[in-house]
Structure 1
Amino acid sequence: MATSATSEQLLVVIDPVARQTDGESVRIAKDVLSAGATTKVCLPDGPEEFARALARRGARRPVVIGDDRALIRTVALLHRQRELAGCVLSVVPVGSALSLAGALGVPTGAVAAARAVLDGVARRMDLLVDDSDGVVLGALRIPPVSLREAPLEEPLPSTSDGHGHASWLRTCQSLVRTLVPARPVRDPLAVLPRPRPARLRIEVDGVTLVDLDQPVEGISVTPCASGLAEVEVRPVSVGAEASSLVARGRTVTVSGADFRYRADAGVWGPVRTRTWVVREGAWGLTLPA
């Protein structure tokens, strides 16, 4: 559902990271917004000032100039304040991490995004809310379990017989290093062990899609139409490639051994169980008309 966006009074909150990484785009966005609407500009220095600026917005429509993390932080703050449903949020993406904003339909150019704030429409978006009151705007993914990284080099032994031989040994070792060409430094990624499959129980609306006895290579949960989430599970293939298992529902529960998950721009966990519920039309975002 879309409604016309008003641009009479705007609270423009500029994330400090955006000011540091691309001050020119910040200036351009601020100029475009100020030319088209009555604006109050806030320059918070940290998360606490950012939160206070949002809390004191009054009737002004909040506009965040920043990257994906700033967008996620804003939605999470409004959700915790229980003010998300009655608020329409606008964003001008500035920074290095802009993939989430782009996937949501926000232009990633400063001028186009600022014009969308002024002339766009407010669209209601679904949201994933977990049992710890965390929010997910886009997709979440549970990757395979990573094994502990092995040390790259064996430490040199520390030997001493009480007569200073340890110091003598270190001197000899130092001399040898100066005479013998150094070994090439190994790429740390080259020695990382391959992730092992995860053993997790995935339930969609109370129905078990995959149980602990079926190892999986990955899981994705993505909000889709009509207040539902699409769950895709990729089982471990034996011989021929295994087909993905797909289901849709409003509630998704993952449990089993400790696991981490990627949600929007962050990695969370480890946790043993987590439940996500789709909130239909939970938040509003201004997008191009």
Structure 2
Amino acid sequence: MSARDQLLVVIDPVARRTDGESVRIAKDVLGAGAGVRVCLPESPEEFTKALVRRGTRRPVVVGDDAALLRAVGVLHRERALASAVLSVVPVGSAASAVRLARGLGVPVGAVAAARAVLEGAPRRLDLLVDDRDGVVLGDVLIPPVGAVGAGLSGAGGSGDAGSGDAGGGERHPWLRTCQSLVRTLAVRPSRVVPGGPSRLRVEADGVTLVDLDQPVEGVSVRPGGAGFARVEVHPASVGAEVAPVRARARSVTVSGPDFRYRADAVVTGPVRSRTWHVRAQAWGLVLPR
């Protein structure tokens, strides 16, 4: 990318609280290599407004996976993913908080990630969009019944990008702090507890891979490149091991009794049916050359 680029650097409040030093380093590196406008949102509404009003500046998110997912969700709802190219400097409270960004190829460490923003190249990536307009960048996992803890909601990380009090400018500081804490907790992976086999119907491009009469121990769906998703179903075994059922598809539907699923570490449900469609090369992310 050109050093003359104009950047909109959106620094997530969770990143500022958990690792201020990494945030400072990222700002210094970016500011030395490009024209930078820094935005410090205190709420999802302010985060959304900053991205929507970015103008011609390239958006750079400094934060964890939840912040990255929120940014993609905002641009998806604005129907701006085709034209916008995102950059991210992963900053989180733990390695697990930036696992998605690392898996996408973003460097670890504020200096390396900021240099990739300045010197890297855009790469178009596939994503999944569900029938509720939620986006998934990494994968969808449906574990056995009871193996996902309760108390979490939101699909694909995009559910909180536009939520909250519309009168953000009138809220007291202590209220913003409490709401930010709630948002942080709402995207943490839940505790996994043992569960039993599920009875689900899994269809790939209209072809049934398993039906309700075949218990399954898990289902995964993830973008597989070239506009296809990779689907893997693990049938429950009694005695002899049963090989997983694998397929590639542009559309995947899972239905059956109430089930929960984890999309990019955000747990949703219970639901009775969900369909994911692959959007080929739907979004751009700046990665090292």
Paired residue secondary structure (2:198): coil
Match of 1:212 in 2: 212
**CA distance in structure 2 between the aligned counterparts of 1:116 and 1:217, rounded to whole angstroms:** 40
1:282 has 2:282 as partner:
yes
TM-score by length of 2: 0.82
Match of 1:86 in 2: 83
**CA distance in structure 2 between the aligned counterparts of 1:8 and 1:235, rounded to whole angstroms:** 51
The one-letter amino acid of 2:258's match is D
Q: CA deviation at 1:19?
A: 0.1
Fraction of identical pairs, as percent? 68
Aligned pair count reads 244
**CA distance in structure 2 between the aligned counterparts of 1:14 and 1:284, rounded to whole angstroms:** 19
Match of 1:130 in 2: 130
**CA distance in structure 2 between the aligned counterparts of 1:121 and 1:252, rounded to whole angstroms:** 31
Q: Deviations over 1:175-220 (max 9, x none)?
A: xxxxxxxxxxxxxxxxx97411100000000000000000000000
2:10–2:59 Cα contact (<8 Å) kept: yes
**CA distance in structure 2 between the aligned counterparts of 1:148 and 1:203, rounded to whole angstroms:** 22
Match of 2:59 in 1: 62
- Runs of 4+ aligned residues of structure 1 deviating over 3 Å after TM superposition are 4-7
Worse overlay, 71-80 or 4-13: 4-13
**CA distance in structure 2 between the aligned counterparts of 1:16 and 1:37, rounded to whole angstroms:** 23
2:48 to 46, 51, 54: 51
Match of 1:34 in 2: 31
Which ranges in structure 1 are unaligned for 5 or more consecutive residues? 150-191
**CA distance in structure 2 between the aligned counterparts of 1:231 and 1:49, rounded to whole angstroms:** 37
Alpha carbons of structure 1 residues 105 and 196: separation in structure 2 relative to 1, 3 Å: same
**CA distance in structure 2 between the aligned counterparts of 1:11 and 1:277, rounded to whole angstroms:** 30
The one-letter amino acid of 2:206's match is G
Greater radius of gyration (CA) = 1
Q: CA deviation at 1:101?
A: 0.2
Alpha carbons of structure 1 residues 6 and 200: separation in structure 2 relative to 1, 3 Å: farther
**CA distance in structure 2 between the aligned counterparts of 1:12 and 1:93, rounded to whole angstroms:** 13
Q: CA deviation at 1:265?
A: 2.7
1:22 has 2:52 as partner:
no
**CA distance in structure 2 between the aligned counterparts of 1:65 and 1:218, rounded to whole angstroms:** 33
1:109 has 2:109 as partner:
yes
Q: Deviations over 1:114-139 (max 9, x none)?
A: 00000000000001000000000001
2:72 to 71, 75, 85: 75
**CA distance in structure 2 between the aligned counterparts of 1:197 and 1:49, rounded to whole angstroms:** 43
Alpha carbons of structure 1 residues 100 and 258: separation in structure 2 relative to 1, 3 Å: same
Supply the RMSD in Å over aligned alpha carbons.
1.6
Paired residue secondary structure (1:26): helix
Match of 1:154 in 2: none
1:198–1:217 Cα contact (<8 Å) kept: yes
Match of 2:167 in 1: none
2:3–2:33 Cα contact (<8 Å) kept: no
After TM superposition, list the pairs within 5 Å mapping 1:169-248 onto structure 2.
Answer: 194-248=194-248
Q: CA deviation at 1:8?
A: 1.2
Q: Deviations over 1:133-168 (max 9, x none)?
A: 00000011001111899xxxxxxxxxxxxxxxxxxx
Q: CA deviation at 1:250?
A: 0.2
Paired residue secondary structure (2:28): helix
1:5–1:286 Cα contact (<8 Å) kept: no
Match of 1:253 in 2: 253
Q: CA deviation at 1:222?
A: 1.1
